[in-house]
Amino acid sequence: MKRFILLVVTTFFLIISTTDQTVAQTAQLLGGNTLNGALTGGILGGATMALSNSGDLTPMRIGLGAGILGGAAVALYDVVTLPTGQQFFISGTFNDGSNSSIIILLDTFYGAAGGALIGTAVMLVANRPIISGLQYGSGIGAWAGFGFGLLDSFVFAERNRDFISSSSLLQRNSLIQFESGNFEVGFLRPEMIFQKQFSADALSLNPEPVMGILSLNKRF
């Protein structure tokens, strides 16, 4: 009888512990995705204001509201697709994270920063005001980064691979890499070329780092 009571009590505490972990994981995904969604919406709202060259804060307000709702929807997607008993993990093209929306947020930010840089460069070449390049470049870049972020998070990214993703940056042949079956396409592939030099009394190898633009691989 004592053994039976001990077994019941142990099972009860195990169920409570598992439930607490599930609730905590759900709360973590909901909070993280909602916050990231709000930040992403705020960035896109600011980008819309920049592109329209307007001081009206309506796009910012709409962006924040839509971002919160979108973040909650992404949180629901993460909870539904999360295998039972596992910590959520996602590995995108440029970043890893503990929820799907962080990939979208960071890609949006990178797009805005890259757009601002390109816009500034264009204005310098054209001898035009740099502020215009920053304004329109960051606006266009933010929306472009957001679009890529959606694909990156829901199409390209790896999820829950025991915290070691096959698409991790350190394990790729190229910085940007896509795989479909046995076919692999890579962009920006760093390589090391060794040049041999002969002389009368010596043979030397000189390493030279290079960057391959495009690589195509087919596995058989």
- Both 75 and 161 in one domain: the answer is yes
- How far is the CA of 14 from the CAs of 9, 10, 11, 18, 104, in angstroms? 9, 6, 5, 6, 36
Is pLDDT of 194 > 80? no
In this prediction, residue 56 carries a pLDDT of: 87
Q: What is the C-alpha to C-alpha distance for residues 51 and 156, in angstroms, rounded to an integer? A: 29
* Least trusted range by pLDDT, from 51-60, 93-102, 171-180: 171-180
- Both 114 and 195 in one domain: the answer is no
In this prediction, residue 81 carries a pLDDT of: 81
Q: Comparing C-alpha atoms, which of 13, 164, 35, 155 is closest to residue 87?
A: 164
- Both 166 and 103 in one domain: the answer is yes
Domain residues for the domain of 133 are: 2-171
- Both 164 and 188 in one domain: the answer is no
* Least trusted range by pLDDT, from 75-79, 106-110, 187-191: 187-191
- Both 29 and 96 in one domain: the answer is yes
* Least trusted range by pLDDT, from 28-32, 115-119, 121-125, 186-190: 186-190
**Mean pLDDT for all residues in the chain:** 76
Q: Which tokens go with 169?
A: 């940056």
| Percent of the chain residues topping a pLDDT of 90 | 33
- Both 8 and 54 in one domain: the answer is yes
- Both 66 and 166 in one domain: the answer is yes
Cite the beta strand spans of 103-155 per DSSP E.
none
Residues 6+ positions from 171 with CB-CB distance below 8 Å: 165
In this prediction, residue 5 carries a pLDDT of: 44
In this prediction, residue 2 carries a pLDDT of: 46
- Both 213 and 131 in one domain: the answer is no
- Both 163 and 193 in one domain: the answer is no
Q: Which residue has the higher pLDDT, 141 or 160?
A: 141
Question: Total structural domains in the chain?
Answer: 2
- Both 24 and 123 in one domain: the answer is yes
* Least trusted range by pLDDT, from 30-34, 76-80, 107-111, 176-180: 176-180
- Both 132 and 183 in one domain: the answer is no
- Both 134 and 214 in one domain: the answer is no
Q: What is the C-alpha to C-alpha distance for residues 4 and 219, in angstroms, rounded to an integer? A: 57
In this prediction, residue 182 carries a pLDDT of: 64
